[in-house]
Structure 1
Amino acid sequence: MTTPSPVAHAAVIQDDMNLPRANGDTEEISELWSASEGQVTNAHIFFLAVLTFWLVLPVFYALYRYLRTANHRYTLTNQRLVEQSGIFVKQIESVELYRVKDLSVSGTLAQTMVGRGRIIVQSTDTTSPTLLINAVPDPMVVSHLVRETVERCRAARGVRAFDF
């Protein structure tokens, strides 16, 4: 059984997500896209832990990094981009999509080889003007999905961006 592409799946969800509220705003119902940070970011740490396993400390550090990365999740809804991280104490950072100014895509050699990459989100948000979405699968597809969702959110709110 094949799964639909993220863009096709998101397009179906987006059509159902924009339900108007009484004040004309759109209601946030469910997520458009969600992924966790890839373990490829820890490849060098895992490699060193295997080479120096008899020291025990590198193995514990590799386990810590594995858990930290496994608990780092990104979620895109029709209103915001949410980053959730933390093993024992959860930290949640949210960026309203109408505040997003720019998106760029990059990636390390190791990330590119396994089909992952990094998306850098620049926004006018005061608490986190730059949000790094690291080691996500198909970064170009996700970047286009975020850009389309930002445009829909801006149009629904009547927000226009001006550069000075």
Structure 2
Amino acid sequence: MSDEVSFWKTSPSQWLNLGAYLVSLIVIAGIVAGGIFFPPAFIALVLPLAWIIWKYMVVKCQQFELTNERLKITSGVINQHIEEVELYRVKDTLTIRPWWMRVVGLATIKLETSDRGQPKVLIPGVKNGVELRETLRKEVERQRDKKRVREMDFNEIEDEVDLA
């Protein structure tokens, strides 16, 4: 029996695709304008529409789930990849909130971990990013206490000793 409890599960926001959607609309407008003079050009509409659908699916199929033990990352449209990062391995967190994300209440969370398979984890375009980061921080500390794990960093210290 597992004591694992899920706190949060979501996909990133489609706002991440805003640039791709705008470019596609411009391309579609160009194809439609060209199709007025050369009707077979309408066939080219398949390309930007397929690209929009693909970009949508890539974001929609990416999922993040935070439990009291690990962060589960699911990605892939055709082939699915599931990666997990144990919370006690999280070394540092960073919340990134560019102006265009703040306007719609989104943030990106960047994690630095001691996990060899996932040394850096990016959780892009999620709602309530500041609250998520705080929840994540608390759970990381709880897991470290539970497993009696502490993170130690060793930095090279240059000799600053004056040999005079």
The TM-score, its normalising length taken from structure 2, stands at 0.80
C-alpha separation between the residues in 1 aligned to 2:127 and 2:57?
19
Q: Counterpart of 1:51 in structure 2: which amino acid? A: I
C-alpha separation between the residues in 2 aligned to 1:64 and 1:109?
26
1:137 pairs with 124, 127, 133, which one?
127
1:125 pairs with 99, 115, 119, which one?
115
Residue 163 of structure 1: CA displacement? 2.3
Residue 29 of structure 1: CA displacement? 2.8
Question: Which range is displaced more, 57-66 or 105-114?
Answer: 105-114
Q: What per-residue deviation string (whole Å, max 9, x for no partner) do you get for residues 29-55 of structure 1?
A: 331111111101100111121222234
Q: What per-residue deviation string (whole Å, max 9, x for no partner) do you get for residues 73-115 of structure 1?
A: 1000111011101112111111110111000000333222111
Q: What aligned pairs does 1:1-164 form with structure 2 within 5 A after superposition?
A: 27-53=2-28, 54=31, 55-56=44-45, 57-164=47-154
Q: What per-residue deviation string (whole Å, max 9, x for no partner) do you get for residues 50-83 of structure 1?
A: 2222342122111100011011110001110111
C-alpha separation between the residues in 2 aligned to 1:50 and 1:143?
35
**Contact 1:28-1:77 within 8 A present in 2 as well:** no
Query: How many residue pairs are counted as aligned between the two chains?
Result: 139
> Identity percentage over the alignment?
29
Residue 139 of structure 1: CA displacement? 0.8
**Contact 2:4-2:69 within 8 A present in 1 as well:** no
Unaligned stretches of 5+ in structure 2?
A: 32-43, 155-164
Matched residue SS, 1:89: coil
Tell me which stretches of 4 or more aligned residues in structure 1 moved more than 4 Å: none
Unaligned stretches of 5+ in structure 1?
A: 1-20, 22-26
